[in-house]
């Protein structure tokens, strides 16, 4: 495989990473907003100047919210890693970017989920009158394990792709490492080299003619074109 550093290749890789990062942040924000909209809430009522939980539809709404954020950010990160792998060469720095995609996705999803839920179901400053019910968001926070889980799985996914599949077909074709890419590279090289003896570029179709008559310069001359 041709792994020689090519400035154009590095620019293409950097552009792909930047594009995927922006898309990851945008999709994570959308996912967090949806989670904040649908995440479980607690039903409370006033009791002794405070709040008392009346009931909820989920046994552990806080844990449910953490699970929703973790799964959503993991799916977004996996899609981002697969997209980057498909558009860039295998490079160690991309492994770091894969982990960062997971971390950034989890942060944005969690923050937007909490912010949206808090806006829709704000916690009242004073408890409602006894017997009056209100819905408030269940407090949740991602533990240390959750913060490490998504980045670690995203990096492991990229590592697996690099180990099992290597560069994607798209990248191999761009580097000329597939039959189609090799033929295109060879044709471009032949056409661009031109006629070394005369200094003029070869006309279109010359590559095929050369294949049938490699020593085209010694072909017999036609009638009337002799030296005499």
For helices 7-38 and 92-120, give the axis angle rounded to 10 degrees.
20
Interacting residues of 17 by C-beta distance below 8 A, sequence separation 6+: 84, 88, 94, 97
Domain boundary among 175, 193, 223: 175
Chain-wide mean pLDDT for the chain? 74
Mean pLDDT of 43-68: 68
Are residue 119 and residue 203 in the same domain, yes or no? Answer: no
Are residue 138 and residue 152 in the same domain, yes or no? Answer: yes
Within a domain: 76: yes
Name the pLDDT band for 20 (thresholds 50, 70, 90). Answer: very high
pTM above 0.75, yes or no: no
Are residue 118 and residue 194 in the same domain, yes or no? Answer: no
Strand order in the sheet with 41-47: 50-55, 41-47, 133-137
pLDDT at 21 over 90: yes
Which domain, by its residues, includes 187?
A: 179-213
Within a domain: 163: yes
Supply 188's token pair: 């471009």
Are residue 137 and residue 206 in the same domain, yes or no? Answer: no
Are residue 193 and residue 150 in the same domain, yes or no? Answer: no
**Structure confidence by residue, pLDDT tens digits, 163-220:** 988 888 888 887 775 554 445 444 444 444 444 444 444 444 444 433 444 444 444 4
Question: Residue 124: its pLDDT value, please?
Answer: 62
Within a domain: 81: yes
Supply 30's token pair: 């959308």
Are residue 165 and residue 113 in the same domain, yes or no? Answer: yes
Question: Residue 33: its pLDDT value, please?
Answer: 93
Are residue 143 and residue 84 in the same domain, yes or no? Answer: yes
Question: Residue 39: its pLDDT value, please?
Answer: 76
Whole-angstrom Cα distance, residue 159 to residue 163?
6
- CA distances 28 to 23, 31, 94, 111, 153, Å, are 8, 5, 20, 10, 17
When divided into structural domains, the chain yields a total of 2
Are residue 166 and residue 207 in the same domain, yes or no? Answer: no
Question: Residue 55: its pLDDT value, please?
Answer: 61
Within a domain: 218: no
């Amino acid at each position: 495989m041709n792994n020689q550093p090519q400035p154009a290749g590095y620019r293409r890789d950097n552009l792909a990473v930047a594009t995927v990062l922006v898309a990851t942040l945008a999709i994570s924000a959308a996912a967090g907003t949806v989670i904040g909209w649908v995440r479980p809430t607690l039903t409370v009522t006033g009791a002794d100047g405070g709040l008392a939980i009346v009931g909820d539809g989920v046994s552990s709404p806080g844990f449910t919210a953490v699970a929703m954020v973790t799964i959503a950010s993991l799916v977004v990160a996996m899609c981002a890693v697969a997209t980057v792998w498909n558009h860039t060469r295998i490079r160690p720095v991309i492994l770091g970017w894969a982990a960062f995609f997971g971390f950034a996705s989890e942060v944005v999803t969690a923050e937007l989920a909490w912010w949206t839920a808090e806006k829709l179901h704000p916690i009242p400053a004073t408890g409602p009158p006894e017997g009056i019910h209100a819905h408030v968001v269940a407090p949740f926070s991602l533990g240390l394990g959750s913060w490490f889980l998504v980045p670690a799985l995203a990096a492991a996914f990229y590592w697996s792709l690099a180990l099992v599949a290597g560069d994607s077909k798209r990248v191999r074709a761009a580097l000329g490492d597939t039959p189609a890419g090799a033929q295109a590279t060879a044709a471009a090289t032949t056409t661009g080299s031109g006629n070394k003896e005369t200094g003029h570029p070869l006309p279109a179709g010359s590559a095929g003619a050369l294949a049938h008559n490699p020593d085209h310069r010694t072909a017999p001359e036609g009638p009337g074109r002799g030296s005499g």
